[in-house]
Amino acid sequence: MIGLDTNVLVRYLTRDEPIQYARAAAFIEATVRAGDRFFINTVVLCELVWVLESVYGYSREEVANALEHILTTAQFEVERLDETRQALIDFRSSRAGFSDALLGRINRALGADHTATFDRTLKGLDTFRVL
């Protein structure tokens, strides 16, 4: 298994820099042909969302679709897959940012009843208690 950094995923998804996209695509395709898989950790997912929204101006729906694509790609093993799927549902159904939604889901999985916050955009998510 090979870990992927955010910048490789960004190049692969956005195709914004042709030379780096070609290198990323060739690497990913060769690795898949060899029967290997890729590991994507939660930090990479949070960075990816930030880059897609902040740098590329992706809408929430476009970001959610990109995440869904990653989660359903058989060659990608995503850290904390169950919590990530739940966080994607929270992201789609609320005003919460993806990283906040993921934080709440991971904290819940690790035994927290809820996560205390001042962030009012998280009101309504059962994984948070807005102070």
pLDDT digits (tens, 9 = 90+) for 26-55: 999 999 999 999 999 999 999 999 999 999
What's the pLDDT at 126? Answer: 96
Tokens of 16: 């914004």
Beta bridge partners of 2: 38
Q: How many domains does the chain have?
A: 2
Residue 22 maps to a domain: yes
Over the stretch 78-114, which tens digit does the pLDDT of each residue have?
A: 999 999 999 999 999 999 999 999 999 999 999 999 9
Q: What is the mean pLDDT of residues 46-67?
A: 98
Do 47 and 106 fall into the same domain? no
Q: What is the mean pLDDT of residues 58-87?
A: 97
The C-alpha atoms of residue 99 and residue 122 are separated, in whole angstroms, by 11
Do 11 and 71 fall into the same domain? yes
Do 38 and 62 fall into the same domain? yes
The C-alpha atoms of residue 44 and residue 22 are separated, in whole angstroms, by 21
What's the pLDDT at 119? Answer: 96
Do 63 and 125 fall into the same domain? no
Do 75 and 98 fall into the same domain? no
Do 61 and 98 fall into the same domain? no
Range of the domain at 115: 94-131
Do 104 and 41 fall into the same domain? no
Do 55 and 12 fall into the same domain? yes
What's the pLDDT at 3? Answer: 98
pTM for the structure as a whole: 0.94
